[in-house]
Chains A and B, each alone.
Chain A
Amino acid sequence: GAGVSQSPSNKVTEKGKDVELRCDPISGHTALYWYRQSLGQGLEFLIYFQGNSAPDKSGLPSDRFSAERTGGSVSTLTIQRTQQEDSAVYLCASSLGRLETQYFGPGTRLLVL
Chain B
Amino acid sequence: GDSVTQMEGPVTLSEEAFLTINCTYTATGYPSLFWYVQYPGEGLQLLLKATKADDKGSNKGFEATYRKETTSFHLEKGSVQVSDSAVYFCALYRDSGGSNYKLTFGKGTLLTVNP
Binding site for B on A (CB under 8 A): 4, 31, 33, 35, 42-43, 45, 48, 50, 55-56, 58-59, 91, 93, 98-99, 101-107
Contact = CB atoms under 8 A, between A and B. Distances in A.
A91 B43 contact: yes
Interface string B30-53: 000010100000111110010000
A48 B89 contact: no
A62 to B, nearest CB: 17
B102 A55 contact: no
Contact of B44 (A48, A50, A91): A91
A33 B101 CA distance: 9
Interface of B: 34, 36, 42-46, 49, 89, 93, 95, 98-108
Given A91-B43, A91-B44, A106-B43, A101 B102 contact: no
Candidate in B34, B45, B99 with the most chain A CB atoms within 10 angstroms: B99
Given A43-B89, A101-B46, A105-B43, A55 B100 contact: yes
B84 to A, nearest CB: 19
A48 B100 contact: yes
